[in-house]
Amino acid sequence: MDSLNPRAGPAIAAILVALPMVAILAAVVHGATGADPALWAHLSEHVLARVTVNTAILVVGVVAIAVALGTSLAWLTAACEFPGRGFFSWALLLPMAMPAYVLAFVAVATLDYAGAVPVALRTLLGEGFAMPPIRSTGGVIAVLGLASYPYVYLMARGAFLTHGARVLEAAQSLGFGPWSGLFRVAVPLARPWLAGGAALVAMETLADFGAVSVFNYDTFTTAIYKAWYGLFSIETALGLALLLLVLVALALAAERLARGRARYTAADAGLRAPARLALPGARGWAAFVYATVVFALGFVLPAVVLARWALGVAPLDLDVRYIDYTLRTLLLAAMAAVACLALAVVLGYATRFEAGPLPRAAARVAGLGYAIPGTVLAVGVVTVLGGIDAAWRSVAGGEGLWLQGTVVALLFGYVARFLAVANVPVQGGFARIRPSLEEAARSLGLGTRGLVTRLHLPLLGAGLGTALLLVFVDVMKEMPITLMTRPFGWDTLAVRVFEMTAEGEWQRAALPALVVVAAGLLPVALLTWRMERAARAA
């Protein structure tokens, strides 16, 4: 491998990619030093313990649900045959297009005491009938779990598909059935990819504000908002964010320690069409029912509710501006997805060709943005860009803003936030390429360029597609960075959702929310179609 790395190029590239996040972190740390001691005393006495426990319960619960749903459904659609499998293999990704905050307000509006479902049940079963309250710890965990299992599903499915038929055959030859095959062979082999998906879910949950506030469930993030909005102390809010980051870093380090030094690569990646295990009779239909229930709860039912609400307000609110909102949303999502992918690939090569600790540390720092509440990150972004603008003015003169309030500022924020989302599948893709393959290719006279174009890119394909899709859909749903850094006239669909929900007008918010979902379906469908085709062609 040394011949691939004659100079320090990879390390430098990795550090460059991490630089924006370092600048943002510096801004956060600098802000946090101004935290008010009196407020800290108050927070540590009355707030911190409770929100820490709440946050831990939420993250553990959501990750557990997301991993359970994502892994089992990926196994069923990748390795088993049951009625409707072909449909579910892509349909089960659709909940990804449904923003968690939208799923949250649909769930609360329909399932809370005054919602349509309990009202109907009370009419049917008598006034005394009481459903377990949706606005509860269980309710918020269920909703966030449903909204985020596709991350795990996508990663797990990729792993199961490319591990190919060999694993399945090995499992069968050892006498394992479909379930014991999953637990004894497939899951252990897919562990890094599952862990990557779980880490994304955990970070997404930590940073969530929209969904938890619909449930009025207090977390670290809501405490950060309260310190900023209510106590008027951005410094204390940044201090809380920093504390949260330290906890996240510790958790990630613990996870890596637990994973140990094991190396995972694919066994004959996708060299043969996988022979699926048939689930006969009742077992096949049980799988069908299971997939149907998840699909219905995560996508169909909320989409139907949204559509009903949207129809009610469309005559009032729907006009040509929605074409602009949609185009702008798609354009921003596409630009951010390409930028994140490019940087993730740079990081991927840097960590592969430079064995030292520097590139890997840089990659970790670059990925931290996903665990910070978006609005805190946005504060970091405007602070950093404000500093650059001020420096620019003092050098070049003029009095306008050079970076702030431009699309560049938006993209800077998106990349800082979502690089981790591209990074996980790209790293997962690199992990699947065995070093021995590279050595073999080299011995056949392939240069670095040939290695990249003829070996890496074809084998990375699925991982790159996954990265693009994840960032694309996440940016479409993103609110706080868009709100705080967008130029004049750059309102997106998510901005419109925010403005309606901020006034408690959930039914009016259904219209832009539904368009977000519809626009998100396109890339999801494209990707799953390609994944299916690749799996069939292999």
Q: Which of residues 437-496 bind other proteins (CB under 8 A)?
A: 453-454, 457-458, 460-461, 464, 480, 483-484, 486-491, 495-496
- Say whether residue 383 binds other proteins (CB under 8 A): yes
379 binds other proteins per the rule CB under 8 A? yes
Residue 114 as a binder of other proteins (CB under 8 A): the answer is yes
Q: Choose between 444 and 488: whose C-beta lies nearer to other proteins.
A: 488
From 8-16, 42-50, 243-251, 267-275, give the range in contact with other proteins by CB under 8 A.
42-50
Encoded tokens for 59: 């993250």
Could you tell me which stretch among 113-121, 173-181, 186-194, 357-365 binds other proteins (CB under 8 A)? 113-121
Question: Given the complex with other proteins, which of 234 and 306 has the nearer CB atom?
Answer: 234
Least Å distance, CB 176 to other proteins, is 35
Q: Smallest gap, in angstroms, from Cβ of residue 155 to other proteins?
A: 19
| The binder of other proteins chosen from 26, 87, 135, 267 (CB under 8 A) | 135
Site for other proteins in 389-408 (CB under 8 A): 389-390, 393, 399-401, 404-407
Footprint of other proteins on 289-328 (CB under 8 A): 317
Closest approach of Cβ 400 to other proteins, in Å? 6
Rounded Cα distance, 113 and 107, in Å: 11
Tokens of 20: 């924006």
Which residue from 402, 15, 388, 424 is spatially nearest to 201, judged by alpha carbons? 424
Name the residue nearer to other proteins (CB basis): 122 or 442: 122
Tokens of 355: 């064995």
208 in Cβ contact with 54 (< 8 Å): no
Binding mask of the shown chain, residues 191 to 220, with x at each position contacting other proteins by CB under 8 A: ----------------------xxxx-x--
Q: Classify residue 58 as exposed, middle or buried by CB count within 10 Å of its CB (0-12, 13-18, 19+).
A: buried
* Pair of tokens at residue 460: 């990375």
**CA dihedral (339, 342, 344, 346) positive or negative:** negative
Q: Which of 2, 7, 46, 536 touches other proteins (CB under 8 A)?
A: 46
Tokens 């691939």, residue located: 4
Cα–Cα distance between 471 and 379 in angstroms, integer? 21
Q: Which is nearer to other proteins, 122 or 166 (CB)?
A: 122
- Toward other proteins, which CB reaches closer, 289 or 391? 391
Q: Does 499 bind other proteins (CB under 8 A)?
A: yes
CB burial class (10 A; 0-12, 13-18, 19+) of residue 343?
A: buried
State the nearest-atom distance from the C-beta of 136 to other proteins, in Å.
8
> What residues contact 96, with CB distance under 8 A and at least 6 apart?
150, 151, 154, 473, 520, 524
State the nearest-atom distance from the C-beta of 268 to other proteins, in Å.
21
CA distance to 96, 291, 292, 386, 408, per residue, from 92 (Å): 9, 8, 9, 42, 34
